[in-house]
Structure 1
């Protein structure tokens, strides 16, 4: 399809979803599901106006685009979580990102080995690709902003931010087992020391310290110069530096991006408390970004670093959310174009097993003893949306020497799982969240 027609198509889709955003948000279909269906209609399975395959240079660009969207999305997710470090919401997120994730991976490994006859390493790679939840496509069930302390949304946001720390090491282990000819014990030992212990600890440490330190210095420099110009470059710089440094020392870049967002948020909390102590405001514990006025930026002269950090966080959130949505829409459109010719029955069965059995059971087991109501545990079990993370891991595996089964079979299964998740969760998320809100309102009124 000619380039100009692509401009027309994408512009029309963006305009349509913008004009109808209110109805889409209240309706049973998400904007991502619409983009997926449009892509499927344009692709070779229906109209045949454009073709796209996960091979050659396409895999490289898929990896780059999905990785960029994930890094920015994880940073924004961490920035939105204003919970104290000791808040129970973090403990719930860890339950979902570690034990629930490991159980989910184990379930998919068993299905791939028994049902598909795959070797262990290939089954482990597939499980690592389709098990993590997605921080981008789960926008309707994640926290809306820093004031959102809804327990369900906090748990799902925290899980999406942390579970790459479990999934990526398992994918790396699978690829190492495929390529190693000697003693697997040596592979596992090196993997556990480097990719698990150091990878997780280094990623969290470098990310948090980098986000906190660079955010603190940047905010104070902007305050010292009374700078009120857009500060999105500061946020971009923090993400790029932290992610690159972490990758250079072989730690988890995704965890670092998430931790950098959390670190910058702790700077906001610290400076806001200092500002309130110096000059009390009748704003309660409102985040700094809600206290600044975008329309008065040019006339503002920050009297406290707390006001400067408000601009920094506000600009970071605005840029990050726009960037991640644009790439996410493009990739979902690409999935729609590519999925119809490669969709597989095996992928549909794995998607059904993952969403209806493996994920819900894993979450239920991992949350035993948490004190969380059963209704919330059931919803968390269902809201395990797959998306850009799975695409990123698929591309990473294809460029890193995946063996064991045909690449086309793997691509078909992963794209089928992602497309099924986008449709199934897109259709159910609004009705289920509305039902939950009505139940919560009724409970409050009965007190």
Structure 2
């Protein structure tokens, strides 16, 4: 009975720790504290040196939980990664994820050798342990601090942090193998890396395709799609590891494959994985905190601080500038990418591998990695937003999207039902605009279900459901948020021929002689972009209008407020203009010059 009681106490205390971690997130979100730091501190307080006095030294369990948690984190990151957004930055991201990790480890190693009195191999191992950035830490802080990064910078950080963990893990394992056995060579390391990367990529791609096939072909009961995908991710990870391939690379690629293919219950899968990943991170961070001994930290904290500052201020910046030198990043973007190399649970997880193997000085690696993570989260984490704004890599934060309901429709994958509350200041309510690829299907008003014809006109407070392709559902958000006041156009963004977005297509047709359908003559240029773009408008977005091309030159309040006109090269010479048209066109040119072009 005593053993049963101890199990019950362990379950009770474990649940209390997890609950405390969840509740602590409220403080982290409110005051900007790095969430990982909070969870680690909870584990430390519960440990044998804290008020909790829990005796915990099970490195094997910590490694098992850390492996599962890290696999789920990488899979969830891949699932949310749109391949189109990272396609243009794959080359710099891959260079950072491999060469950047290696350079960071090599530059950190000499500092670790002399600060901690290690030999060169041990110093290189410590450098490999702290060399990779942590995806969960980076994007959690970007989100909680309200940052919206420039697309290229954000995509580069996303792809790098999602793919550098497998290389750091490989490098750590190779060095651990060399220290424990003393038998390896550069040729052996290169061959092992190529084999693990290639097999991991094959397992990930094949596994991802099989999961997509199973999701769309097998009639699973409602509610089991998300657990099936989560379990399948762990199966892919385990299969790759058993085959001596990179399971972490395999599970990340599988997530990208699944996330970029049309599948059933996609939104419920993403929601479930968010919760599973959140819980996995909490459990992993608390267990890592339990392994920390504050008394043991005192003997190495000074040298660990030196290693941490050398890593942040020298190793990471040098690696980033060297790796991104062949690519067209300006110095501001390079500085921000270097400063955003936050260290998180991955570094502490890697530091547990020498403890699991039983290497000498294993606890030293763990303690130094812990101090590095704490300093990185405190110094880099709390200065992330000011650095982004000072370096001009942060865009104005878009308004938080409306509450969206997405329902999969059995029997097909092309359309899903998307629902929104109708707000009085929304673009849909005030202007009646909706994209051409969506179709209103039903309206809920006062507990009654109405067709769009019965509900016409739609009133504020109604709930409207529309049919839309799953990959475009998020683009509907901008029609159902409150319309902020438009900002003045930036004169540096204007082109040679520009008009304000409030002008109608009919007015444009009268000036430039283009053909406009009669039913669209009263649409403003801003409305035209909203209706025909399948995503929120961005500077440089283009739409054809008969023989001319409309170019979004300035965005204000989430809408195009200044439009540039790209005319056919021969049109200016051959198109006969009336005197009135010439006069209006001249006015447009004068307005352009006055605006500062």
When normalised by structure 1's length, the TM-score is 0.77
- 1:50 alignment counterpart: 53
CA distance in 2, matches of 1:178, 1:439: 44
Specify which of 328, 337, 340 is matched with residue 383 of structure 1.
340
Q: How does 1:115-130 map to 2 (within 5 A)?
A: 115-130=115-130
2:277 counterpart of 1:324 = yes
Residue 71 of structure 1: how far off its partner (Å): 0.2
Residue 336 of structure 1: how far off its partner (Å): 4.5
- 1:217 alignment counterpart: 214
The 3-state SS of whatever aligns with 1:84 is helix
Cα deviations by residue, 1:146-169 (Å, 9 ceiling, x for unpaired): x99832222122112211232122
Q: Decide whether the 8 Å contact of 1:142 with 1:156 is kept in 2.
A: no
Q: Decide whether the 8 Å contact of 1:212 with 1:266 is kept in 2.
A: no
Residue 201 of structure 1: how far off its partner (Å): 0.9
2:342 counterpart of 1:366 = no
Q: Decide whether the 8 Å contact of 1:62 with 1:391 is kept in 2.
A: no
Greater RCO (CA < 8 Å, at least 6 residues apart): 1
- 1:29 alignment counterpart: 33
Cα deviations by residue, 1:321-345 (Å, 9 ceiling, x for unpaired): 2222223223334445525333321
Q: Decide whether the 8 Å contact of 1:63 with 1:392 is kept in 2.
A: yes
Cα deviations by residue, 1:181-212 (Å, 9 ceiling, x for unpaired): 55x43xx333322x211101110121012112
Q: How does 1:283-322 map to 2 (within 5 A)?
A: 309=263, 311=265, 313-322=266-275
- 2:181 alignment counterpart: 180
- 2:188 alignment counterpart: 190
CA distance in 2, matches of 1:91, 1:438: 20
Decide whether aligned partners of structure 1 residues 13 and 260 sit closer, same or farther in structure 2, where only a CA change above 3 A counts.
closer
Q: Decide whether the 8 Å contact of 1:385 with 1:425 is kept in 2.
A: yes
Q: Decide whether the 8 Å contact of 2:149 with 2:395 is kept in 1.
A: no
- 1:104 alignment counterpart: 104
230-239 vs 33-42, greater mean Cα deviation: 33-42
Decide whether aligned partners of structure 1 residues 335 and 245 sit closer, same or farther in structure 2, where only a CA change above 3 A counts.
closer
CA distance in 1, matches of 2:349, 2:258: 26
Residue 9 of structure 1: how far off its partner (Å): 5.3
- 2:418 alignment counterpart: none
Q: How does 1:34-433 map to 2 (within 5 A)?
A: 34-41=38-45, 48-51=51-54, 55=57, 58-84=58-84, 87-140=87-140, 150-181=151-182, 184-185=184-185, 188-193=186-191, 195-222=192-219, 228-268=222-262, 309=263, 311=265, 313-336=266-289, 338=292, 340-343=294-297, 344-403=301-360, 406-433=361-388
Decide whether aligned partners of structure 1 residues 115 and 263 sit closer, same or farther in structure 2, where only a CA change above 3 A counts.
same
2:5 counterpart of 1:11 = no
Residue 171 of structure 1: how far off its partner (Å): 1.4
CA distance in 2, matches of 1:152, 1:430: 14
CA distance in 2, matches of 1:27, 1:324: 23
The 3-state SS of whatever aligns with 1:397 is helix
The structure with more strand, counted as a fraction of residues: 2
CA distance in 1, matches of 2:393, 2:153: 15
Q: Unaligned stretches of 5+ in structure 1? A: 269-308
Decide whether aligned partners of structure 1 residues 239 and 7 sit closer, same or farther in structure 2, where only a CA change above 3 A counts.
closer
When normalised by structure 2's length, the TM-score is 0.59
CA distance in 1, matches of 2:130, 2:488: 36
CA distance in 1, matches of 2:369, 2:280: 19
CA distance in 2, matches of 1:245, 1:7: 30
CA distance in 1, matches of 2:75, 2:61: 21
The structure with more helix, counted as a fraction of residues: 1
Cα deviations by residue, 1:209-265 (Å, 9 ceiling, x for unpaired): 21123213322334xx7x643411221232122112211211101100101111112
CA distance in 1, matches of 2:16, 2:118: 44
Decide whether aligned partners of structure 1 residues 401 and 43 sit closer, same or farther in structure 2, where only a CA change above 3 A counts.
closer
